[in-house]
Amino acid sequence: MPYKLEIGQKLKKKREELGYTQGDIVYMTKISKSSIIKIENGKTTNMDFYFLYAVTVELSLQSLLDVKIDLAPKRKLTETRSKAIKLTMKIKNLISENFFNTPKTVADIKEELLEKKLIDISLKSGEISNVLRNIEKEKGIEVIRDGKINRYKEILL
């Protein structure tokens, strides 16, 4: 059963146990009757409505949210994007370890990642460069341009 429907049914059951009508809930919450019907049928997308309804019928949020929810995104990231995220995390770890306290080239970074066995030798330098550009945009590192060679250094605050 979809989790919103399960939550809506819990709210309806509690309302009925208290002897309240949907009109009573409308009056107490100032939520429209059509929205109350949608809540009870698990059709509304505004979670605030579910919470306001729960508070009104004195149903704890813990018990309201004790439902099975499929913990998976609607769409999985592409393998390319997943690899980029993992590489980003590895490079950010190097930043936190002060590896970038002196300027480093992409080759230096690749060598360090290889030495720590964090990447496969087949990883292209361009993939590292792409990640470094994104980290630079986030103000995580600065780039020092020296002709055709870029060196990356941590930003000192």
Q: What is the pLDDT of residue 65?
A: 86
pLDDT at site 157: 65
Sign of the torsion formed by the C-alpha atoms of 114, 119, 124 and 125: negative
Domain with CATH 1.10.260.40 in the chain: 3-64
> So what's the pLDDT on residue 127?
96
* CA-angle at 128, arms to 118 and 93, nearest 5°: 50
- Mean pLDDT computed over 56-72: 88
Question: What pLDDT digit, counting tens, does each position of 8-39 carry?
Answer: 999 999 999 999 999 999 999 999 999 999 99
Angle, CA 87 vertex, CA 98 and CA 108 arms, to 5°:
50
Q: Which CATH superfamily is domain 3-64 in?
A: lambda repressor-like DNA-binding domains (1.10.260.40)
pLDDT digit string, tens, across residues 71-124: 788 899 999 999 999 999 999 999 999 999 999 999 999 999 999 999 999 999
79-154 is classed CATH 1.10.10.10: yes
